[in-house]
Structure 1
């Protein structure tokens, strides 16, 4: 028998361009990692296997009630309005599987933006309508309205936006919420660093609103892969019905509970990160290769540079890893630089001062 694997694979999977993380793009040794928007200060918990040895033989709580109670107390959101996922990516995928008919429905994204919206759509065979942000990286409301049709089920708004760093104007988001009869997903992964108020407390006002947050950024728990979604209890019920039964393992639930006790530490780290973001911006500004630094409400800066790819490679040779966004439409010639510790940021600046262009 001749076995033909390609014959069995769905066409949309054959044509899939998978998401590549910062760590996909660099696998060597580095001393300064400013590429993945992690919390450079560290984690509020340390792993102690003795905390779990008596519970690891049992399946975890499939609805993560204790964890959600703690999150709800911090965020001011009732337990029945909280979804916990294996990273925000699970929430993105679940929402598409709930609301979009494969091969029929479509979603709207606002590039440049987080790449997993498009990747999840491609995996689920859902058409993506891209409505680019304007020159100020804000929404074009009329252009979005022009792209909405009877098969548009989801609009994804990343605010603060990745990779640009800016918050999307709140009044524009409210216009979309009030006029679009599908689901509006606001991705607030970086909200802890922003001046703009979260939409998490507005879910009672907007039945079509889903707000996503994460413990991977300000909370310093990226390794746990714990994402959150806040929405009406009807939407959350659907998400719980569709997710895998035990999607959040016991170790993640317990470690997250430990981490969520340290609110003051997280607030202090966040304040320090914002101060370092401002310091980094001031130090980058006068460097000869820097053309523009875009306003940021996140824990990173998008920086337009002369010879950006050459600068990127030069930093790699010095053990400093940032994220190249030069091939991202709307971010041509840009590097995305995570705000590190004071020592890491100082090393970055000192290293950039030694760069000499080859042309």
Structure 2
């Protein structure tokens, strides 16, 4: 990826974890390597990573967070930065973020503020992280006001997406990742969306060729958009938030818990964006239904009424007002003019959004 003269590799392959010392090369300049991960990933891949480093004469030093969204918090950030300082990490060192989006976001943000910025390497172990959060440099934690509201734009030095890591994922997590894959087709690539409609089952079945193509095509799509608008100032990068404004409201209402995983929230959010676009007359009902059918076909949720939220549309709309994209009291929404054609609408009426969400809550 090239960003204003700063370039880094995004490698998509198998066996990268077992070869991590060689892959990182000169980035690991000391005899010990700080690695931040969670308990699940450490149990599954810790020995593999440690063995690769040991063969290169390096010692793995571990900070293991509990698995789940809870680590991406003020407490998690404090624990991480204090540990990095205890490990005497210097600005020229590189910390490895080994895990899903939670670990990648937390580690990247901690690296951005430790001694005013040390290096880090993204080693994403979930499909969602490989195709989305590990690429592009958005790092953040969640706070009481909402998701990802405190963070920084901070690019990694390297991204290693090992497809072997996906073999240990539960099917629910694979589906969550595929929500972000299909997003790239919906927002700007109708041909890729059609490919996703046909090949989704193959990706979820871990077909090697389909999986590699899905990850590589998604990374390429994100890289193009990020290179155009790294800090989300022109509006181009904002298109990557398709489904997220609706989805984050649902995550907030469910307490950022396992009740609704992030990828599931994004899937629901994209369905809502399509339905709301049809409500506004931007797309046809047929296109909206096509998108909904594609998401439902891979086992992702499409109806918020089935969540049993116990709130109304106004409650959900109020969560959206904490969105980090708020600008001068206006919340832009990523909507659709067609499959593969997203745009940023800055004239959305929040009263209408509340009414729309209330109708979706009541539908069956």
- TM-score between the two structures when normalised by the length of structure 1: 0.34
Higher fraction of helix: 2
Q: Which has the larger radius of gyration?
A: 1
Normalising to structure 2: TM-score of the pair? 0.34
